Structure 1
Amino acid sequence: MGEEKSKRRTTVKINGQSYVISGQADVSHIKEVAKFVDEKMKKMRNVNPYLDSTQLAVLAAVNISDEYLRLKKQQESIKKDGEK
């Protein structure tokens, strides 16, 4: 069998709730991701303080996905332009 990276577990706080995250990424990366999500949720809560946690989580996921897909399309466009 091939080498298997060991899973790391770390506790993070997102929107005031603690979560244990396990994965193969460095703990610093996991914490950075959690901080990014937490900041997105805080920004949305500031805009609309009446959203519940589920609504905040879904809107954060939608906004993060939007950013990701825009960057992905931009990267693909740059790659295509470089191949011409």
Structure 2
Amino acid sequence: MSDKEKTRITVEIHGHHYTIVGTESKSHIRMVAKLVDDKMREISVKNPVLDLNKIAVLTAVNAVHEYVKLQEEMEQLKKQLNQIKD
């Protein structure tokens, strides 16, 4: 972690409280927690028999999938931009 001042905030995700410590603003941490909570609730509604651990793993898989797709899109856009510059 950098030398930035650390932020500590308690958030609720899928009915459980978690203390998050990081260098981002409280509003940013709240937004991220809400996105995780929303995705966990979405998965839980679609699969009501899943326990919390499985819901959390599926949420992580979904988040990493979206991250990888965005990375691929960003690389494609960089290539297009470089072609335009050349």
Please state which band the TM-score falls in when normalised by the shorter chain.
over 0.9
In 1, distance between residues paired with 2:3 and 2:40?
34
Offset of residue 6 of structure 1: 1.1
Q: Give 1:75's aligned residue.
A: 74
Q: Please list, as runs of the form range in 1=range in 2, the aligned pairs for 1:49-60 lying within 5 A after superposition.
A: 49-60=48-59
- Equivalent residue for 2:44? 45
CA RMSD of aligned residues (A): 1.0
* Gap runs ≥5 in structure 2: none
Q: Give aligned-pair identity as a percent.
A: 44
TM-score normalised according to structure 1 size: 0.94
Structure 1 unmatched ranges of 5 or more: none
Following TM superposition, the consecutive aligned residue runs of length 4 or more in structure 1 with deviations greater than 4 angstroms are none
SS in 1 for 2:5: coil
- Match status 1:6 vs 2:5: yes
TM-score, normalised on structure 2? 0.92
